[in-house]
Amino acid sequence: MAMDKQLCTFYLDKYCFGIDVREVQEVFRYQEITRLPLAPNEISGLINLRGQVITAINLRLRLGMEPREDEIAPMNVVVRTQDGVMSFLVDQIGDVMEVSDDYYEEAPDTIPGALRELITGVYKLEDRLLLIIDTKKVVQFEAFAA
């Protein structure tokens, strides 16, 4: 019998993504970001969330997508990782969705390379694919490895 999982969903462009709800600390609207000099382009900067300083990752850039239009403010999905708490900047927040492992598949080869490396798999829903983000890989940056 397949297990059901609860996923926090969000959107980037026309794509629907999900993260295990147990990894998500909270979601909130755009907040002012302090830029970090010499940081990779995917890191937008730092956010002060009630006294806690959080790194904000532009998920569009991290996944190899086109940048968001400047007049559209991103939303924040704050996740807990082994490297600490991080914020993923996304276009729109979705719902918490319960999905069955019966509909889970490995990431198809048709997903572009940079995106496929950061996706663990997909759930086939009635009207779309739900791409599952590998949060561990998303927060790893080669530029900071040294």
Span 62-120, pLDDT tens digits: 998 888 887 788 999 999 998 889 999 999 999 999 999 899 998 888 887 778 889 99
Q: Mean pLDDT throughout 51-67?
A: 92
Span 20-42, pLDDT tens digits: 999 999 999 989 999 999 889 89
Sheet holding 129-133, edge to edge: 92-100, 4-12, 15-20, 129-133, 119-124, 104-105
- Whether the predicted model's global pTM rises above the 0.85 cut: yes
Residue 127 pLDDT more than 60? yes
- Number of structural domains the chain divides into: 1
Nearest to 136 by CA among 90, 85, 89, 83: 83
Whole-number pLDDT of residue 2: 60
Residues 6+ apart with CB under 8 A from 16: 9, 10, 94, 128, 129, 130, 131
Residues 6+ apart with CB under 8 A from 106: 121, 122
Pairing of strands 92-100, 104-105: unpaired
Span 131-146, pLDDT tens digits: 999 999 998 876 444 4
Range of the structural domain that residue 109 is part of: 4-144
Nearest to 9 by CA among 131, 115, 135: 131
Whole-number pLDDT of residue 130: 94
The CATH number of whichever domain residue 90 belongs to comes to 2.40.50.180
Q: Would you say 82 and 140 are in contact if contact means Cβ atoms under 8 Å apart?
A: no
Whole-number pLDDT of residue 119: 92
